[in-house]
Structure 1
Amino acid sequence: MITTEAILLRRREMRETSLLVVAYTPDCGKVHGLVKGVRGARAAVPWYLEPMTRQAIVLYERRRSNLGLISSFDLIDPFDGIRRDFVRLSYGTFCLELVDQMTEIGDPHPEIYRLLLSVLRSLAEGADPAAVARFLEVHLLQIQGVLPDPGALRLSPGGRLSLERMLTMRWEELRRLALSPPVAAELRLKLQGLLDGVLERELRSRRFLLQTGCERGIDRPALPARSAA
């Protein structure tokens, strides 16, 4: 039995009353957990089990299986500041998918958990969504050991300076990070090329960002606030 924090990355229904949850934890890395008895025949899944929530969970690991059993959840942070805004929600979804695709089950990296937590907090508190996404991309590539030296990326002086700043700044300062539109576009294309080489697939959430205009800074309507059950 392991008691740990977790950020829910995604979920899907299993059987009649169960859920399969994929979460990232500081202690175990990415985990797959079965949650039993959370759905009735006609009842909706409780909103607090949605992706992009920070939880305290109790996880029972199984021998010879990557699928554990999650017996309890205790909501810590729903990141409401993200959920009320279409653009922030779209970028938050991208961040979850990126972490999901860049990590393996049972390979703990506490720094990735802290990184994702800092990113979601910054999005919820009003940070520039595009700058936050670039920050996450840079640090995931660095943690995985596949980020080239900034001098080898053939960036403009402004792009190289911004990249070096992202690599050296404290994560707590992320909410103050801002990128000019030309630098943001340059870094997005350069980092996307690096990530595509690692993942060998296109992220659906990235395509959604482009299709909806979020990456171009087009304003979108805010989503209604969720009322607590």
Structure 2
Amino acid sequence: MPAQKTQAIVIRTFPLGEFHKIITFYTPDFGKVKAIAHGVKSAKSRLGGSLELLNHGTLLFNHREHRELQSITDFSLINGFDAIRTDFTCITYGCYFAELVDAIASEGAANPEIFDLLQSTYQFLAQATDVPLLARTFELKFLDCAGYGPQLSRCAYCSALLAGKLLAFSVRHGGILCENCEYRDTSTVSLLPGSCELLKMLRTSELKGLNRIRASERNHRELKRALGHFIEYHTERRLKSLRFIERTL
């Protein structure tokens, strides 16, 4: 098959021998793509500096169906997101977003919405006044794009309208349970109605509007716990970058 050309963001790199790397990209046209960058660690390689984690560029690769690893022909850098790399908090969360996409997104399944979300999040990240709130927004929007978004407006089990001073977020049932269905899951995460409303607001908000949204410490704790458990349920593991964030930030 002839070479394919698409925009791509580097979401993972892995050394292969002394001179090569396996690069995982996220693309709007092919979804997740894994490819070998031959000789990229050689001093003579023209691709060495461009294939760094989080870089956005134009990817040229030889695409073969049913092949686990493709072959990179060229990668032209569009944006290295330099403002992210000079801030420890930003680069740490940027790596988390990349790992989350790598953990859930499918290879070979085009999803331009995920690519656009990842790109726009990296563009906004250095401007965010509340990076953890941006992280919750990314998690929620990404889960929606990937088809795993939680039910927040009605009971996830019986579809009844929600009411009560505390709401029960069920990972197993995929969202909020009403008072009559809470007993169906004994490991729910409690949410204030205000935290649930905040989740619904984040789901529909544009990133550039996040700096106008204020969240209390309790809102932050509840959203982090609920979405964290939800993501762990779907990835079946605790992401390394998220553990690092919890230890250091």
> TM-score interval w.r.t. the shorter chain?
0.7 to 0.9
In the alignment, which residue of structure 2 is the partner of 1:120?
A: 122
In the alignment, which residue of structure 1 is the partner of 2:240?
A: 204
Q: Does 1:183 align with 2:219?
A: yes
Deviates more, 1:176-185 or 1:99-108: 176-185
Deviations 1:89-136 (A, max 9, x none): 111111110111011211111100011111111113344211111011
Deviates more, 1:76-85 or 1:166-175: 166-175
Distance 2:32 2:197 in 1: 33
Which AA in structure 1 matches 2:203? L
Specify whether residues 99 and 63 from structure 1 end up closer, same or farther in structure 2 by C-alpha distance, changes over 3 A only.
closer
Specify whether residues 127 and 72 from structure 1 end up closer, same or farther in structure 2 by C-alpha distance, changes over 3 A only.
farther
Q: What SS does structure 1 have at the residue aligned with 2:191? A: coil
CA displacement at 1:170 relative to structure 2: 2.8
CA displacement at 1:144 relative to structure 2: 2.9
CA RMSD in angstroms, aligned pairs only: 2.1
Matches within 5 A, 1:127-138: 127-138=129-140
Which AA in structure 1 matches 2:83? G
Specify whether residues 179 and 117 from structure 1 end up closer, same or farther in structure 2 by C-alpha distance, changes over 3 A only.
farther
Q: Does 1:72 align with 2:108?
A: no
Which AA in structure 2 matches 1:75? L
Structure 2 residue ranges without an equivalent (≥5): 156-175, 177-189
Which of 166, 174, 181 in structure 1 is aligned with 2:202? Answer: 166
Give the conservation status (yes or no) of the 8 Å contact 2:136–2:223: yes
Q: Does 1:7 align with 2:9?
A: yes
Asked which structure has the greater RCO (Cα within 8 Å, sep 6+), the reply is 1
Which AA in structure 2 matches 1:109? N
CA displacement at 1:2 relative to structure 2: 1.2
Give the conservation status (yes or no) of the 8 Å contact 1:122–1:174: no
Q: Does 1:29 align with 2:31?
A: yes
Deviations 1:42-85 (A, max 9, x none): 99x83332101111110111243121111111111111111111
Specify whether residues 70 and 174 from structure 1 end up closer, same or farther in structure 2 by C-alpha distance, changes over 3 A only.
farther
Deviations 1:130-153 (A, max 9, x none): 111101111122223333321443
CA displacement at 1:7 relative to structure 2: 0.5
In the alignment, which residue of structure 2 is the partner of 1:141?
A: 143
Give the conservation status (yes or no) of the 8 Å contact 1:61–1:67: no
Q: Does 1:48 align with 2:50?
A: yes
Using the size of structure 2 for normalisation, the TM-score is 0.78
Number of aligned positions between the proteins: 212
Give the conservation status (yes or no) of the 8 Å contact 1:56–1:75: yes
Specify whether residues 56 and 194 from structure 1 end up closer, same or farther in structure 2 by C-alpha distance, changes over 3 A only.
same
Structure 1 residue ranges without an equivalent (≥5): 215-229
Q: More helix by proportion, 1 or 2?
A: 1
Distance 1:179 1:68 in 2: 44
Using the size of structure 1 for normalisation, the TM-score is 0.85
Deviates more, 1:9-18 or 1:159-168: 9-18
